[in-house]
Chains A and B, each alone.
Chain A
Amino acid sequence: MHGKLTALDYLLAQIEKPDNVPALLLLTLAAFYIWHSWRRSRINDSRSTPMEAEMADKVQVWPYLVRVEFLTSIVVLIILTVWAITINAPLEEPANPALTPNPSKAPWYFLGLQELLVYFDPWIAGVMLPTLIIMGLIAIPYIDINPKGNGYYTIKERPFAQATFAFGFLVLWVVLIVMGTFFRGPGWNIFTPWEAWDPHRVVPLNNVDLPALVGVPTLNVDNTYNPLSIMIGAALILVFYSIGYFVWKKKQGTPFFKALGPIRYGVTAFLTLSMTGVVIKILLRLLLNVKYVLATPFFNI
């Protein structure tokens, strides 16, 4: 006889998917390291000198580091072997040019990027944002002039860096991966991990452009673009990025900003605002069904 499948069954099925194991591992490890660094930072921040500074004695790489690394490699080998034995490769049906799997999911580490495709046009989500991420990561050593936090955990001494990490990695990267892995089903519709994937689910498709929300339609009746809509959209984006300018205007006198200089500040502000902008756009879509902020015949943001 057939038992009725419960929410728990569906949840377990999601967890047991070989595809999803690495994403779960990512979650667990991220949680552990966040907790670990947070705990150590708190201790350090409440003391005059960080704990790490007290371990002043330096030891030789050989054998004291190498023996730990070697032990670690043994442990990793054990884990990989057991993983390979117990969990089979997540093979699917033979490729068929006439039949696209539904949902078509990228490997877990790309699901965050794939999720971005929901909110942005492919040239932004697939080309510009990944490029910005890589460029930004490369830029960090050059724009970070804060010498503190070298070799020890701290939040208090590097509040901006820590906040950017928490926002950029945990919110943008990890949450998007989790979203794409566990919360997207057939038709890339949102499903909770504990419900059945109904391929027939119909969701309302009523996204509108932001200017239209305030009564300015994107298209004229003859299907040409409404200049007013374009102007409002462009203005909104300009206003958003001009925040950087106003902050500079207000704070440029402080010693830190002086040390930073206008170019380093400019890059930092642009990257930070872009990162925030991505999240704002996601929220606009999820909460207000905003399709585009700026829609033009050439590109849409």
Chain B
Amino acid sequence: MIGWFNKRFGTSIEQRNYGALYAGFSLLLFLTTLWAVYNEVDGRRPWKEYQADFRELKVQVLLNKRRELKGKLSKDELKRTDSLLEIYDEQLHGKKLAGYQSQIDDLAMTIRKTSQKRANLKSEADNRNYMFEHSSREQEPEAATKYKGQRTDLEHRMADLDKTLDSLDKIRAKLLADHITPIASKKKALESHRDSLYGAVADLEKKIDEADAMPLQIQQVMLNDFDRTNFGKLQMRADRCQSCHMGITDPVFADTSIFNDIGKGRHLFRTKDEAAHARKVFGPHPHPEMLKSHNIERFGCTPCHGGQPMSVDAVDHAHGLESHWERPLLTGAYVQGACRKCHEGDYTFAMADKVSEGRKLFIDFGCFGCHEGPSIPDWKEYKVGPSLMNIGKKISPEWAYKWIQNPQSWNEHTRMPNFKLNDDQTKAVVAYLFDATKSSQYAPVSASAPAGDAARGAVTLKEVGCFACHAVDEFEPRGKFKFLPTTDKKLLWPNGVQDGNRIAEGNNFGPDLNKIGSKVDAAWLFDWVKNPKHFNPSSRMPILRLTDGEAADITAYLMGKKDPSFLASPPSLGSLKDTNLIKKGASIIREYGCFGCHQIPGMENEGKVSVSLADFGTKTAADLYFGYLGEEQLHNTRDHFDKGPYKLGKVYMHLEDGEDWFVWTALKMKNSRVFQTDAIAQKMPVFNMTDEEAYAMTVALRSYTKSYIPASFRDPLGQYQPAVNDGHFLTHWNNCVGCHKIQGSGGFVLENLRTLMGIKGDDINPYGPPNLNTAGAKIQEPWFYNFLRNPASTPVRTWLKIRMPTYAFTPSEISRLDKFFLGLEGQSLQFTDYSYYPATEQTLAAGQQLWEKLKCQQCHAAGSTPSLGGATAVPAPNLALAGGRLKPEWIIRWISDPQVVAPGTKMPNFFGTLQEPSAADPTILGGDWKAQISALRDYVWRIGGVKGMGSSSTQADSSSMHPAAAPAVQAAGSAKPADSAAKKTAMRTVPGKKLAMR
């Protein structure tokens, strides 16, 4: 090299030869250009390869289907047709017709040539015509005459050619008609016969051709009005995900069994890995039902899944897995966080368990008592912990001391966290609490509890359903913990790693009663079970309307449940009257924000003690502080979660050192003091979360972002959404879902009832609290109000031993609940007169016939007439209540298909199903099922007393039978566009009697 340079610079400039250098570098430039072209066309377009693979796979799948279909066809018929077709084919191309064929072909060639000649003449003539017109305009008569002559001459020649063409055509047509067409048309007919034989096969072949011809091109969904830039300007988003994931909505790929076709030879995939990869890339959406409500053409992919919508140049880029892309593909349950972006107030997502869990835990652990967050209840009104206003009259200072110091040592399931206070701090807090409540006026109704029978108490306790909210005896807490092995106990879990959750639902709701005897005294407990509101008016525990005897029995039984070990070595607290100690206690309470969860006397005007979490999900590692934790511990944490079912999300920015949002948050949840350093004290208490809880919290917290989602993409229930969100909170807050199924979830007590009564499956339904599905459409508003004010006033299921307690709801709370149930049905709260509902004598008679025929009375009582009973009978509500309790439209819906309204109900389907309705009896009302259902409703409606006569419009009623087909009727009270029709039907149904307040 150096030699070459020396030699080169040794020769004079004029004598240096540049030929080789130019040739070499020009070649290099050429190759580089080729490289650039390849890079542009192929290298940066890997989706082309995916599309080619997809095309090949699709064609293969369709070919397999075709083979399968063909296998089912009649072979003989096909054979016969095929051989006939062959014969026709041979005839058409055989020697006999060869002469005619060549004649026809020659003619065709002559015709083509002549036509061409004529076309040339035409264009010449057009030109002369133009020249003629032009010359005329230019006042050049001579030229005009010349051109006109030429034009006329050309036109004559064209007319001659036309004649020739005409005759040629005729000859050709005759030849064809005489010799070729008879056979050709037979062939065509046979072919269409063959196609009809094939039918589906022909369709498939069309599809195969289409699939085969699919061009390789970017597939994108444009979201015009979804995005905004960071500067708030509207921005178009183009989701190109389907450029590779082509099978997401392709019906051919909807059947995932094709991905099991693995093996050698005639199989789609050779290895399992290949099939798994194909499924990952080309498979359908794992939740097709999700796409039904979230149309992909409207919502695209990345609003939920994240990723880099426009990028198609590499898999990682498209998935946004690169530094600087802020919204990488969400993995595992983290995609659920996206639900919250649009459905901000929802609690329960049917297809997003983890984010629902995290949202509930955020409430149940009382996070909102210290932190602001999205869609949280008012912390001044709703406090997760019990009120401490009278605490001095309930427990001993020693018990309080031990409890505050380590709540888990009394009850490992408690949601009360450990504040890690030292002995002096704990003592100070106890001193403050007992000092502040020393002037409390509370005293139990009787100074000592009346004597009760513990054995009877045990029975009553279970009969009235205490286990719906409390863990007691064999009814262990719902979501019971499961111990798992851990790598780093000290870091991740001060007391060992556990699985399970403590959402305040079912019997996780109230405290565990198994040691209650060692906590409180009998007089207090008797007063409490009689009326919890006496001791604590804001208690969430309802009144169970126990008699003195029942209360005494239960008290006696519960007081026997003791665990003396907790106070085996009671702390010696000394004097708690020291004012300095009390002051210190007050300052500790203020510092740690105990009033976030408890009502504490003297602390009514404090503010939240910690930071807002409203956009916590957008924080990066740079915003979080990792204290003393090093790479190894952080990696251990990630490994710990990733090994189990709770895989943490990944962050592609700031990946160094293992410091990322997910690890930080998961660790904080598991062990909230873990990032404490000498300089930075941390006051968040240790919640002892299980892995499941910590994971659910990270999912929910990750979704806490401020995003600009346009209203048109949010709140599917429109104007009802706020009321529904509020109701979801209220029914969770009061554990309504512990007993009742609402919107398909809840009803946890049924499991315990099954154990208690030894009844299996759905057979328990008549003996448990009712399913509240469609309650808004079902229950008349006044009845709803009266029932919730005092459930004992109008008992419906009189045979139930488990009690609907008295919640002491305020009228405003009851309207919130009613608005919730109505909102779920797309209705708003309005005053309606249900007392009058018209019917004719004829329909009432038919209704009575049906009532007898269908033996309704086997299960249902009718006023004072008891139910007849029988081997298959189950208890059912007295139908005398129907007229004053149920909405007439709902009864129709119910009778039409009870299983749709309350899945698992014991009420039989007398009129088929919604999809396939049928008459219960062909002889009544001419076998018209619509009229029959309506008549039966009219009859049942009047069992409790005459409700009015008049002409009923069966047409209007029948349309309300099918809510899917006629949503307008369901939304009679709503302001949806389809309302005018609904109003009309409503007016017809109750002429002049509907008192609607709009």
Contacts and interface: CB of A to CB of B under 8 A. Distances in A.
Contacts of A71: 18, 21-22, 25
A140 B657 CA distance: 51
A5 B659 CA distance: 12
A2 B637 CA distance: 12
A244 B625 CA distance: 53
Contacts of B33: 81
B326 A102 contact: no
A93 B325 CA distance: 6
B231 A97 contact: yes
Interface string A87-105: 0000111111111001000
B229 A94 contact: yes
A74 interface: yes
A93 B324 contact: yes
Given A1-B639, A74-B29, A78-B29, A95 B18 contact: no
Contacts of A197: 656
Interface centre among A5, A96, A196, A199 (most CB of B within 10 A): A199
Given A71-B22, A199-B622, A59 B13 contact: yes
Contacts of B324: 91-93
A35 to B, nearest CB: 15
B93 interface: no
A59 B14 contact: yes
A78 B656 contact: no
B29 A97 contact: no
B43 to A, nearest CB: 8
A64 B657 contact: no
Contacts of A4: 631-632
B322 to A, nearest CB: 10
Given A75-B25, A200-B625, A96 B230 contact: yes
Interface string A71-88: 100110110011011000
B225 to A, nearest CB: 18
Contacts of B28: 78
Nearest to A197: B656
Interface string B1-37: 0000000000011100010011001101100110110
B898 interface: no
A74 B656 CA distance: 41
B5 to A, nearest CB: 13
A57 B32 contact: no
Interface centre among B26, B35, B230, B626 (most CB of A within 10 A): B230
A186 interface: yes
B39 interface: yes
B13 A64 contact: yes
Interface string B645-677: 000000000101110000000000000000000
A94 B230 contact: yes
Contacts of A82: 32, 35
B635 interface: yes
Contacts of B35: 81-82, 85
A99 B626 CA distance: 21
B638 interface: yes
SS of A interface (majority): loop
Given A59-B13, A71-B18, A102-B622, A85 B639 contact: no
Contacts of A74: 22, 25-26, 29
A102 B621 CA distance: 12
Interface in B613-628: 621-622, 625-626
A84 B36 CA distance: 9
Given A59-B13, A200-B625, A85 B638 contact: no
B706 to A, nearest CB: 10
A81 B32 contact: yes
Given A2-B658, A59-B13, A98 B230 contact: yes
A18 B127 CA distance: 65
B193 to A, nearest CB: 59
Interface in A183-240: 186, 196-197, 199-200
Contacts of A148: none
A85 B36 contact: yes
A174 to B, nearest CB: 27
A63 to B, nearest CB: 9
A258 interface: no
Contacts of B22: 71, 74
B656 A196 contact: yes
Contacts of B631: 2, 4-5
B230 A67 contact: no
A5 B657 contact: yes
Contact of B230 (A75, A97, A102): A97
Contacts of A95: 229-231
A202 to B, nearest CB: 10
B298 to A, nearest CB: 24
A75 B32 CA distance: 11
Interface string A48-80: 000000000101000010010001001101100
Contacts of A196: 656-657
Contact of B29 (A10, A57, A77, A186): A77
B978 to A, nearest CB: 41
Contacts of A200: 622, 625-626
Contacts of A78: 25, 28-29, 32
B649 to A, nearest CB: 16
Given A85-B35, A93-B326, A98-B230, A2 B25 contact: no
Contacts of B231: 95, 97
A105 B797 CA distance: 73
A55 to B, nearest CB: 9
Contact of B39 (A67, A77, A85, A91): A85
Nearest to A79: B32
Contacts of B29: 74, 77-78, 81
A94 to B, nearest CB: 6
Interface in A94-137: 94-99, 102
A45 B299 CA distance: 76
A42 B35 CA distance: 44
Nearest to A92: B324
B321 to A, nearest CB: 14
A297 B846 CA distance: 101
A260 B694 CA distance: 79
Interface in B31-67: 32-33, 35-36, 39
Nearest to A58: B13
A64 B631 CA distance: 62
A222 to B, nearest CB: 33
Nearest to A9: B656
Contacts of A85: 35-36, 39
A67 B32 CA distance: 21
Nearest to B630: A4
B622 A186 contact: yes
A193 to B, nearest CB: 14
Interface string A251-295: 000000000000000000000000000000000000000000000
Nearest to A67: B18
Nearest to A200: B625
A92 B326 CA distance: 10
A96 B621 CA distance: 18
Contacts of B654: 199
Given A85-B36, A200-B625, A2 B638 contact: yes
Contacts of A96: 230
17 contacts: A1-B639, A2-B631, A2-B638, A5-B656, A57-B12, A71-B22, A71-B25, A74-B22, A74-B26, A78-B28, A85-B35, A94-B229, A94-B326, A95-B231, A196-B656, A197-B656, A199-B621
Instruction: List the 9 shortest-distance A-B pairs measured between CB atoms, nearest first.
Output: A199-B622, A96-B230, A2-B635, A92-B324, A81-B32, A93-B324, A74-B25, A196-B656, A85-B39
Interface of A: 1-2, 4-5, 10, 57, 59, 64, 67, 71, 74-75, 77-78, 81-82, 84-85, 91-99, 102, 186, 196-197, 199-200
Given A4-B631, A59-B14, A98-B230, 4 more contacts: A64-B13, A74-B25, A92-B324, A95-B229
